[in-house]
Amino acid sequence: MNNLKNIKLYLLDMDGTIYLDNELFDGTLDFLELVKKRGGRYIFLTNNSSKGVDKYIEKLASLGISSTSEDFVTSVDATVAYLKKKNHNKIYVLGTTSFKKQLSDEGLPITDRLEEGIDCLCMGFDTELSFKKLEDACILLRDDIEYIATNPDWVCPTWYGFVPDCGSVSQMIFNATGKKPKFIGKPEPDMAIMAMEKTGFKKEETAVMGDRLYTDIACGVNAGISTIFVLSGEGTMEDVRKSEIKPDYIMENIKQLYEKLK
């Protein structure tokens, strides 16, 4: 565990960490400004594959945060990097129109129809989910094809509570087929490593902050960097007590972290 004063690179989850739906948490702007003032850097790290970085840039702008594509590392980035190493013939994509476009723009051979030659099923957080997509997945998984998913999150936070995320949908498919995907995003260390490589900061200068123990904090643990757990989203102190995954720091919210650093 590194002293927070020594941290230069902050890997920030978004939903439940810096905002909830369209409400920016108090202290977020002050924190981001303080990081830059001290010569540090922040990267937004998200498992949400339902929309592209351009939409996140728009969303953050509407909340008063200026950003560029260089400020993000997403589970889609990690998924693309993984798939490019595999040389698949055809990839069935179960996800949003945005997710499919991101994979297609990277030159990957994707489809959203049942057809000959499919040797991989790739699933993202699908806010456009239909029964037909679930049925297609079950049909494809009768064969021995690769099966991956962008993230294992059970739920995605909203202003009214939670909605089922990719992990919950993959559990439904497991109940029907007995098959589970290889998850690509957090808690795997790849996204944190990609962010450090992008910015040039070392492990001892880096911390990940998020509201989920089993994704955000586990990602930091697996990457060998400091971890900051915030109680402004999905996770609770009861989760900390029950989990084997222990964060280095626990904060009520991003404002408390700002106050400590200030």
Residue 142 has pLDDT above 90, yes or no: yes
User: For a pLDDT cut of 70, what percent of the chain falls above it?
Assistant: 99
- Distance, in Å, from the CA atom of 247 to the CA atom of 168, rounded to the nearest integer, reads 24
Which pLDDT tens digit goes with each residue over 155-197?
Answer: 988 889 899 999 999 999 999 999 999 999 999 999 999 999 9
Which pLDDT tens digit goes with each residue over 187-224?
Answer: 999 999 999 999 999 999 999 999 999 999 999 999 99
Closest to 169 measured CA to CA, from 141, 133, 196, 116: 133
Domains and CATH numbers, the chain: 4-47+186-261 (3.40.50.1000), 77-183 (3.40.50.1000)
Tokens of 104: 């297609």
User: pLDDT class for 2, splitting at 50, 70, 90?
Assistant: low
Least confident of 62-66, 132-136, 156-160, 185-189: 156-160
Model-wide pTM > 0.85:
yes
Strand order in the sheet with 146-149: 110-111, 91-94, 120-123, 146-149, 182-183
Note if the bond before 157 is cis, omega within 30 degrees: no
Q: In the prediction, which pLDDT does 102 show? A: 96
**Residue linked to tokens 């723009």:** 105
Q: In the prediction, which pLDDT does 244 show? A: 96
User: pLDDT class for 21, splitting at 50, 70, 90?
Assistant: confident
Q: In the predicted model, what is the mean pLDDT of residues 129-133?
A: 98
Q: In the prediction, which pLDDT does 1 show? A: 52
Q: In the predicted model, what is the mean pLDDT of residues 142-152?
A: 97
CA distances from 193 to 129, 135, 198, 230 (A): 31, 35, 9, 21
